[in-house]
Amino acid sequence: MKKISLLLTIILVSIPSFSQDNTYLSAMLNTIELMDTASGGDDYLQCANQFERIATAEKSQWFPYYYASYSLVLMSFDEPDGNQKDLLLDRAQLLLDSAFIIVPEESELHVLQAFLYPSRILVDPMGRGMLYMEKMFASLETAKALNPDNPRTYFLEGINKLNLPPSMGGGPEVAKPLFIKADAKFKTFHHENPMWPDWGEDANSAELDKLQ
C-alpha cells in the first residue's frame, strides 16, 4: 500500500511539471511563428513583449530572453531615429545579458551579440564604426570557437566582410568563401530542439546568388 501511495504521489507531482513544460513549449513556438511572419516594428515589439513575459515565468530558460532580444534587434534595423534605435538596443542588450547569465558559453548568444552591433553602428557610422566592428568580429570568433558548426557565424562574418572595403580586408572575394562555408553548414546543421534558432539560411543563399 505504501508503494502504491508513493507511486501515486510521484505521478501527481510530475503531472503539473509536464503540463507546465508543454505550456512553455507551446507559448514559445507560437510566438516564434508570429515573429517569423512579422511585417513591421509593431509586430516585432509585440513578439518581444510576449517573449519577455514568457521569460518572466521561465527564468531558467534562455530561449525567451534570446528571442525577445532578437525581435528587438530586428525592429531596430527599421527604426530611422537614432535615439529610439539605441533605446531598443539597450533593451535588447539587457535581455541578451540575462540569457548570457544562464548559458554564457552558448554560441548562438555570441552570434546574436554580433548581430546587435551593426545596428549600433548605424546610429553613428563615423563615430562608432571601428569600436563596434572590433566587438562584432570578436563575438563572431568566440561563437566560432564555441561551435565551429554554427552556420550563422559564417553568414554574419560574410555579410560584414562584404560591406568592408578591400583596403580593410573586405570585399566580395573575401566574403564569398564565407557564404559558401555557411551554405554547407546550413545544409548539415540540425538541432532536435524545435525552439533552436534557424535564421539566416535564405539570406545567405540570396547573398551567394548575387556573387555567382
Of 120, 210, 194, 193, the residue nearest 158 (C-alpha)? 210
CATH T-level fold of 20-104: Methane Monooxygenase Hydroxylase; Chain G, domain 1 (1.20.58)
Supply the mean pLDDT for the chain.
Answer: 90
Q: Which residues contact 59 (CB under 8 A, 6 or more apart)?
A: none
pLDDT over 50 at 30, yes or no: yes
Q: What is the CA radius of gyration of the chain?
A: 20
Per-residue model confidence as pLDDT tens digits over 142-158? 999 999 999 999 999 99
Q: What is each CA distance from 102 to 29, 49, 58, 95, 146, in whole angstroms?
A: 20, 20, 12, 11, 16
Per-residue model confidence as pLDDT tens digits over 34-44? 999 999 999 99
Domains of the chain: which residue ranges? Answer: 20-104, 109-212
Q: How confident is the model at residue 204 (pLDDT cuts 50, 70, 90)?
A: very high
pLDDT at residue 211 in the model: 92
pLDDT over 70 at 11, yes or no: no
pLDDT over 70 at 7, yes or no: no
Residue with cell 505504501: 2
Structural contact between residues 182 and 154, judged by C-beta atoms closer than 8 angstroms: yes
Q: Which residues of 143-158 are buried (b: 16+ CB within 10 A; e: fewer)?
A: bbebbeebbbbbbbbb
Structural contact between residues 136 and 117, judged by C-beta atoms closer than 8 angstroms: yes
Q: Which residues of 42-62 are buried (b: 16+ CB within 10 A; e: fewer)?
A: ebbeebbebbbebbeebeebb
Q: Rounded to an integer, what distance in angstroms lies between the CA atom of residue 54 and that of residue 58? A: 6
83: how many CB neighbours lie within 10 A of its CB?
A: 9
Q: What percent of the chain has pLDDT over 90?
A: 84
Give this prediction's pTM: 0.88
pLDDT at residue 165 in the model: 87
Of 54, 37, 133, the residue nearest 95 (C-alpha)? 54
- The mean pLDDT value for 117-134 works out to 95
Which residue stretches of 58-106 are H helix? Answer: 62-77, 82-102
